[in-house]
Amino acid sequence: MRKRVVDQFECDECLGDRATSSGYEGVTLAYAISVLEGEVITLCNYAVTPFVTDGSNKDARETRAYREMLRSRGKKVPKISENALRDELVILPGAAMSPADVVRALEKFIEHVEKDGMYIGKYKDDFIREKTAGEPRFVRC
């Protein structure tokens, strides 16, 4: 008698649920890209763990929103932690993504950022979106 092949478990959560509640973890080939230095590729373990902020300043200190809101008010901006992302973009392609899928996803993201800006974090109780050009530069949402 032939053994039955059991399919690998595939998560059926939608993108929104995974990104905002259960998160992601695994192993992938990560691409770290900097405007100044180009790209570096490394095999890595990753864990992206969403959390709900309680509104304290400690929650948001390293987000761009918090730092830019302080800067725009002439206040002292804290240093970024040594191991935190600064001017790098890290891309973690999923195991089912082809190079063409990565290109399409990045093109969609670029189009969105150029048109509507990008959420850059929270300041106090407001989510802050920064536009690439035009006025106002920062929009509270």
DSSP 42-57: EEEEEEE------S-H
Q: What is the pLDDT of residues 100-129, one digit of tens each?
A: 999 999 999 999 999 989 988 877 777 888
In a domain, 88, yes or no: yes
pLDDT for residue 139 is more than 80: no
| Domain count for the chain | 1
Cα distance between residue 49 and residue 46, in whole Å: 10
In a domain, 8, yes or no: no
In a domain, 130, yes or no: yes
Cα distance between residue 110 and residue 60, in whole Å: 24
In a domain, 57, yes or no: yes
Cα distance between residue 43 and residue 71, in whole Å: 36
In a domain, 107, yes or no: yes
In a domain, 90, yes or no: yes
pTM recorded for the entire structure: 0.75
Q: What angle do CA 85, 96, 46 make, to 5 degrees?
A: 30
Range of the domain at 83: 15-140
In a domain, 99, yes or no: yes
Q: What is the pLDDT of residues 32-80, one digit of tens each?
A: 999 888 899 999 999 988 877 665 656 677 788 888 888 888 999 888 8
Higher pLDDT, 66 or 8: 66
Cα distance between residue 130 and residue 68, in whole Å: 10
In a domain, 9, yes or no: no
Cα distance between residue 100 and residue 109, in whole Å: 14
CB-based contact 115:60 (threshold 8 Å): no
- Alpha-carbon distances, residue 133 vs 23, 86, 103, 118, 138 (angstroms): 32, 21, 24, 11, 10
